[in-house]
A and B are shown apart, each in its own frame.
Chain A
């Protein structure tokens, strides 16, 4: 299934396959491949036919510009691709027929069996236009079915059409061969192509095509052929486009009847006057942002608490029922703890994507890009960068994955690089603990409470740092291609709940499986580091506390807490913490904080749990106790509380800026396909964090 963005392709895909979908990867790229399955019982057939539908990313043409478009291109142009279709279902927005027919015409020329589905016919009728589908089908020479993906009208007809034998289009929509006759023949001589247009595509997009990487001999031959002549691919493609539109205009004239020349000002137009207004536009956007953040932070807190409680009771149950030993320890403190660290973010991600899916589905997100583009451009970004930056407040991982639709490499890289500076939700527990430690709760500034104000400032600082970093990178990075902002502003429509649900389902699933694996693995490694020590050390500690002279001073609970605290200090993680102490001492951090910095690599919120163990606060869900213990810690050199304002703020700033998330780095690697980018990101964020913390510490000391 292929079609323009906003053509309702995904809605139709969902209507056909429902929940019977799976997400995989297209070979060689990270773009998600959605396949759906359906059993069709044919009329007059005594058996059902299993059909696999593949939902290709939305595209306006078969010119590969963005990553998404390249996938559509590779699948449709390469007969050797494992997803090369038996039948191409093109979904076209009938209310926008001419532009949609452009892609249709290209696909016809690829010579695969085609079914054209005309979606949104209701909209056409509402506008008073009439499309003669029979005539259109005749003119195009392909089977044409009017569907309504929303109300499922026409879906049955489409299913039945799939069972009929479909001919390969017998004619050329435009005569491609006349544009480059010799070259097309030469290409066809080297590699098997199904159509002149496929050969033409190879000529024009050779550097973008990877599908004959496996046949280096042929690839070299084509490269040599194309190098031998100076080919103006731009001119060729422009000619092709103009030719296509000439035919399309003729067809459209014959098949579309416009009822009236003068159209009344549409609902979308009126709504746009408000939503892109120079004051109301921004006010409404800010209002929506505020609503989203409120929901993410306050509404999501409840299910997050339930999930944590669930995991706590799980681990209690497990540690009571499982036989004591290494395996039980690994299961409870390594795997369960790691899983809990993953699952706990699901409510926030689900809620965030509820909003984003609704805003995208209604067409509002395109308007946000429209009003924000100029502002973002000053910082080397694009109006389309707004969504990743917004999502970054919940979690950088889905945010970075959502940059795939950006066609400019430079803007995409900058967006990926700066998104982790937005304060994600894993930082929130760290912020909360540290703020409550150094800022009195009762202090207020007029209407505002100081703690809340500082929390807000941290989010703001993250945002400012992201924009500044973007600005700097804009100066350094060279653009591979011109940045552009040619984008459709779709007509406003009410959201499709089915689409919204499936989007949420999909995002949560990919977060759980993609990020989850890494977080879990890191958790297990960190569990090992923090529960194991050079041989003999752990036993010594246990022995020490078996001595009645020592034991009598403490209650049972205190004794256990002391043991875990000392064990952590002696563990590999403790050794690591101590060994980095000289490096972090200028920031006001000691080895205890050092351990927490190390363990934070699984997920930043692990900081709280680690602090709880180090300060032997017993259970980590009791913030009150950790805070009191940390508060009571005295710096032996100064005799003042260890967690002074200087240390507290220095640590806050460090957490705001430092790249302490292995899963994000792994996702950055996957999306950029190069280790260079996560490494640069780690170094620049680390340096920024170090220098800023250093300054903050010395200013406040």
Chain B
């Protein structure tokens, strides 16, 4: 697996996985950290709500829903899709 340049979590497509790198908003970061979104953790975009927002990601084994604006404060590096 090869890591690609950093992007926002909100830019993932359904089914894509990425590794959390860092946060851009420190207030939001605390809430996300508490929910298990720690740097180094693998997340996968599972679902996008019908109106395009919020999104649902799998992180440390469970499904977490968050708004796109919140997801965009998480910087991730995309994992190359498994073949």
Q: How many angstroms from the CA of A242 to the CA of B70 in the assembled complex?
A: 19
In the complex, which residue of chain A has the Cβ closest to the Cβ of B60?
A98
Contact (Cβ within 8 A) A485 B29: no
For the complex, give the distance between the alpha carbons of A103 and B79 in Å.
29
| A486/B51 in contact, CB under 8 A | no
A-B contact pairs, 6 of them (CB 8 A): A234-B27, A242-B33, A371-B51, A375-B51, A489-B56, A491-B63
Residues in chain B within 8 A of chain A (CB atoms):
26-36, 38-40, 46-47, 49-54, 56, 60-67, 70
In the bound complex, do residue B46 and residue A241 qualify as a contact, i.e. CB atoms below 8 Å apart?
no
* Chain A residues within 8 Å of B35, by CB: 60, 99, 486, 488
Q: A95-B61, A373-B67 are in contact. List 5 more A-B contacts (CB 8 A).
A: A60-B34, A99-B62, A242-B33, A374-B53, A488-B65
Partner of B67 from A63, A276, A484, A490 at Cβ < 8 Å: A484
Q: Which of B31, B39, B65 contacts A242 (CB 8 A)?
A: B39
In the complex, per-residue mask of A54-96: 1 if CB is within 8 Å of any chain B CB, else 0: 0000001101010000000000000000000000000000011
Q: In the assembled complex, which residues on chain A have CB atoms less than 8 Å from the CB atom of B33? A: 238, 241-242, 245
Docked pose: A26 CA to B37 CA in angstroms: 32
Bound CA–CA A254/B35 (angstroms): 21
Known interface pairs A60-B35, A99-B36, A482-B27; A489-B65 also in contact (CB < 8 Å)? yes
> Is there contact, CB below 8 Å, between B60 and A482?
no
Contacts of A487 in B (CB 8 A): 64-66
Q: Check: A235 CB closer than 8 A to any chain B CB.
A: yes
Report the bound CA distance from A142 to B24 in whole Å: 36
Q: Is the CB of B60 within 8 A of A485?
A: no
Q: Does A241 lie within 8 Å of B38, measured CB to CB?
A: yes
A278 with B34, Cβ < 8 A, contacts A98-B60, A485-B65, A487-B65 known: no
Closest residue of chain A to B64, judged by CB?
A488
B34 to A485, Cβ gap below 8 A? no
Given B27, B31, B47, which contacts A276 in the complex, CB threshold below 8 Å?
A: B47
- State in angstroms the CA–CA spacing of A340 and B64 once bound together: 45
Measured CA separation A277–B48 after assembly (Å): 9
Instruction: Give complex CA distance A339, B39 in Å.
Output: 58
Could you tell me which residues of chain A, from 347 to 381, have a CB within 8 Å of some CB in chain B? 366, 369-371, 373-375, 377
Docked complex Cα distance between A374 and B56 (Å): 13
Other-chain contact of A484, B26, B56, B70 (Cβ < 8 Å) = B70
Q: CB within 8 Å of B: which residues of A?
A: 60-61, 63, 65, 95-99, 102, 234-235, 237-238, 241-242, 245, 249, 268-269, 272, 276-278, 281-282, 366, 369-371, 373-375, 377, 383, 482, 484-491
Contacts of A375 in B (CB 8 A): 51
- Among B32, B61, B70, residue most surrounded by chain A Cβ atoms (within 10 Å): B61
Closest to A483 in B: B67
Given the complex of chains A and B, what is the CA–CA distance between A354 and B29 in angstroms?
A: 37
Interchain CB contact under 8 A, B53 and A272: no
A373–B63 alpha-carbon span in the complex (Å) = 16
A488 to B35 alpha-carbon distance, docked (Å): 9
Residues of B within 8 A of A245 (CB): 33, 36, 38
Question: Chain A residues with Cβ under 8 A from B64's Cβ?
Answer: 486-489
Query: Contacts A98-B60, A484-B28, A486-B32: A278 and B50 contacting too (C-beta < 8 A)?
Result: yes
Complex contact B29–A370 (CB within 8 A): no
Report B9 CB to chain A, min CB distance, Å: 12
Flag if B54 contacts A373 (CB, 8 Å).
yes
Q: Nearest Cβ in chain A — how far from B53, in angstroms? A: 5
Closest to A489 in B: B63
**Distance between Cα atoms of A96 and B46 in the complex (Å):** 17
Tell me whether A63 and B27 are in contact in the complex, defined as CB-CB below 8 angstroms, given that A241-B38, A485-B65, A489-B64 are known contacts. Answer: no
Residues of A near B31 (CB, < 8 A) are: 65, 484, 486
Contact B61 A485 (CB under 8 A): no
Q: Which residues of A contact B36 (CB under 8 A)?
A: 98-99, 102, 245
Asked whether B30 lies within 8 Å of A485 as measured between CB atoms, the reply is no
A572 to chain B, nearest CB (A): 54
Judging by beta carbons under 8 Å apart, are A63 and B50 in contact? no
A488 CA to B47 CA, complexed, in Å: 13
